[in-house]
Every structure is written in structure tokens, then in C-alpha cells.
Structure 1
Amino acid sequence: MSAMFEEIDSQSSPLGEISLRRRRIPALGDRDIYEVKLGEEFLMSSMFVEAEEALSRLGLAAVQGEGLDVVVGGLGLGYTAVAALQDARIAELLVVEALDTVIGWHRDELVPLGKTLNADGRNRYVHGSFFDLATAPESGFDPQNPGKKFDAILLDIDHSPSEYLNAANAGFYTSENLALMAEQLKPGGVFAMWSQNLPEAHFETLLKTVFATVESHVISFYNPFLSGESTNSVYVCVKAAGE
């Protein structure tokens, strides 16, 4: 492979062909850029991670207490999970990922943050559909502890609450299914979610049918391809303390 481009791995998945690539762009300096593609669609790039990291930072800032048990929905390139582990209060982090290939990239340390996640004893990968586990509170996210409740659930899978990685995910974004997920949060627990778009008023209204408080944050970051700023958003929702 060229020093400027390498396809590290490509495998079939239930969603289509998924690939991990490394490339360099001379104009952006001496750095490796890692990218994940599903078919011809870019899922994630290590060039743009500010909002993924903000998801953990903002979500966990809203959580009170110590010895936190946290779920991250969607592994990606690992930036949300690593940012979460920077919070010393975390006792255990479950990273739920539907594609075993993506977990394998981290376990085999084919991606830069795999080594960091593997070395942290608080981190555990869970192979499964976040959306299936989220809506089954009697079994829940942790196969080793059915029905376990968490201090925070941080979600970074779909492009936005109205643009889905998989059309089947659309059914999650209802009051009924969000409430099933919220059953897996402790009283006062936090649900936070990343979106590539600016906050959507209809989704904020939907979240308020389940959570006591809902706050949306706009995350700005420099995009060299546009020679200017791009924006993502993070929704932070807090469950009522008495529930």
C-alpha cells in the first residue's frame, strides 16, 4: 500500500461492507487519518472527533456521584469511550457495538485507541444491538448482570434522530422506547446523544416526554475541507431523581 493510503481491513457485515482505512493528506501535516466506511458512506473520521468527545464530557458532567456505571452505544473509532474513561469517577464502562468487526479492530489494536481501551480494566466490550438491548430493560445492556441500572447512557450511532445508520433504528425514537431505555437509568441518571445536525425542536419535545430536563449543546469545530467551522450537537437529558 502507498504511504499515503492503506485499507487496513474490509469485511462484510449485516449492514454491508465495512472498511477501515488509513490515509495522509499532505496539506494537513504529518498525521495519520483513520476512517471507517460502510459501503461508500463515511461513518467516522479521526479528523473530526470534537463532538464525540463532547458527548462524554457533557453527558458525564450532568451526572452526580462516584463509582459510576456507564454505557456507550456505538464504538466507532473509540473517541467517545476513551473520553468517558478520562472521568476518574467511572467504575465500569460498557461499550455496546453491533458489529463484531469493529470490536475486533480495537481488540487487535488496528486503530490507535484500541490500546488505550484494552489497557483500561474498567472497559468492557458488549457485542449486540444497542437498540435491542435498550428496549429490553428486564435483561438490559449487561449480559453478566441482567437488569442492571446505570448512571449514564451515551449514544453515538445514528447520524441524527431523523437520519439513521439503519432504517430499522427509526423505531427507537419514540416516547415508548425511550422510556424503556430510561428504565435502565438510576434515579437522576443521564441519557446523552450525539447528532451531526443542529438541535431539532421536535426531538427535544419528544425527549421531554420521558426526561425531567433536556438541554441541547451545539459543538463547533474547524473543518479544513470547508476552511471554516462545522457544527454537531449533543442532547443531554436527566431522569427525575424520584423515578
Structure 2
Amino acid sequence: MTEVLDVVDGKSGRLVLRRAGEDYEVIENGVFLMDTRNGESERLLVSVAADLVPGRARLLIGGLGVGYSLRAALDHPGVGDIVVVEREPAVIAWNRDGPLRDVHGDALADERVTVVQADLLHWLRTTGERFDALCLDIDNGPEWTVTKGNAKLYQESGLDLAAARLRPGGVLAVWSAEAAPAFTRRLRARFGQVQVIEVPVPQEEPDVLWFARA
């Protein structure tokens, strides 16, 4: 049985938070966006990126989601300060004071976490901040974007923008619900080292993670 908990008009259309049994789901404009059923690949996105960076890494997490990536970052011994950029105020509210808070153990209350409510592409263009790792999970993948404008992030200009926000030796990590061979080729053309990890998902295509270093 599915129960609708909240419906809001977000930055990109109508957002719905609903509960299905013990799990929560977020739907945007009628399209499934995220849920709390597993989260293995979202956690790996951060933990592998942090493993690749020596010392106490400063992380950017693009897309708060249901908080799995943030929780993994806080639990990793190699992570220091974390900036989370999330476009939708409702997603932040659901994680900070709503039902999703218990999913990640109130991760937003940790003093190492700074939440920025902004469009990620715009923020990357205007900020002067730099990070040891950028962990991006704002779409269902490079070829399955939530909004049309997000596609620029996965093109050559977007990769240049992300690289400019990395410290020397930094890592760009990207999450996807499906393979994207053209994106893999663009990454390898822009960065010197690219690792691709497939994470099995029951009865679906594997999630795919990319880790690129200059």
C-alpha cells in the first residue's frame, strides 16, 4: 500500500513524497526519482571517492537525495568537511525535519555539513570553492537527466567546470542508473584516469559509477 505524505511544487515541477511499506519514494513530475530501498551504489559513490583521496578530504555532494551518500561520507574516516548542494527546498526539508531524517540518522545536524540550496550547475559556475572530491548524483544518469539543462553537466564544458572545482589530485565521481558509453568516452578524453564500477541491482540494469582523476 502506498501513502502520499507530501506534494509540493518544486523548482522543476511537482514533487511527491510517499511511503510504500517501510520505504520512502520521491517522484518528480510522475517520474520515479529515488527511494530508500537499497542505497548501496549511492554509498559507494562517496566511499570509493574518499578512498582515492589521501588525508582528510573536503567533499562536495551534488544532490541530497534520501541522504545515503551524505551518511556514507560522515561515516568515512577520511572525510572532513562536506558541502551538499541541493536544488529542491522540499528535499532538504524532508531530510532535515521530515520522515527522511531517520533514514540517515539526522546527518544534516552534523557540524561538518553545510547545505546549499542551489542549482548545482549555476553554483559550480559562480563559486570559488575547491574540493578533493565532487560526488554527483543529481540525475538518473548522464543520458537520463531530471531536467533538460542538467545535460550540460555531462558534456565537455560541464566536465571542464567540474575539473576546475577540484584540488590537485581530486576525484570526480558520478552516479547513474544505467550505462552511458558516450559519457565514458568523454570522461576518458578529459581525465587521465577513469574507473568504472557496475553495482548489481535486483531485476534491473546495474547502477554505474565513474571515478575520474586528472
The normalised TM-score by structure 1 is: 0.82
Whole-angstrom distance in 1 between the partners of 2:189 and 2:94: 38
2:196 alignment partner AA = S
Give secondary structure in 2 for the equivalent of 1:192: strand
Structure with greater helix share of residues:
2
1:151 corresponds to which residue?
132
- Contact kept in structure 2, 1:158 and 1:165, CA below 8 Å: yes
Q: 1:33 to 1:184 in 2, by over 3 A?
A: same
Q: 1:9 aligns with which of 6, 9, 16?
A: 6
Q: State the Cα deviation string for residues 132-169 of structure 1 (Å, max 9, x = none).
A: 122x1xx32xxxxxx12100000011111111110111
> Which residue identity is paired with 2:10?
S
Give the TM-score taking structure 2 as reference length: 0.93
TM-superposition CA deviations, 1:224-243 (whole Å, max 9, x none) = xx4xx64111000012xxxx
From 16, 19, 22, the equivalent of 2:16 is: 19
Cα deviation, residue 123, structure 1:
1.2
User: After the TM superposition, which parts of structure 1 deviate over 6 Å for at least 4 consecutive aligned residues?
Assistant: none
In 1, the alpha carbon distance for the partners of 2:123 and 2:108 equals 23
In structure 1, list runs of 5 or more residues that go unmatched.
25-31, 141-146
- Name the count of aligned residue pairs: 213
Is the CA contact 1:70–1:150 (under 8 Å) kept in the aligned structure 2? Answer: yes
Could you give the per-residue CA deviations for residues 3-57 of structure 1, whole angstroms, max 9, x where no partner exists? x443221101121110111121xxxxxxx11100112211011113111111112
Structure 1 contact 91–122 (Cα < 8 Å) conserved: yes
User: Where does residue 81 of structure 2 map in the other structure?
Assistant: 92
Q: CA deviation at 1:114?
A: 5.6
1:172 lines up with 2:153 in the alignment? yes
Q: What percentage of residue pairs aligned between the two structures are identical?
A: 31
Which runs of structure 2 are paired with 1:56-75 in the superposition (5 Å)? 56-66=46-56, 68-75=57-64
Correspondence for 2:97: 108
Match of 2:69 among 71, 77, 80: 80
Structure 2: gaps (5+ residues): none
Q: Is the 8 A contact 2:86 2:120 kept in 1?
A: yes
Larger radius of gyration: 1
Map of 1:143 onto structure 2 = none
What is the distance in 2 between the residues matched to 1:46 and 1:114? Answer: 10
> In the alignment, which residue of structure 2 is the partner of 1:220?
200
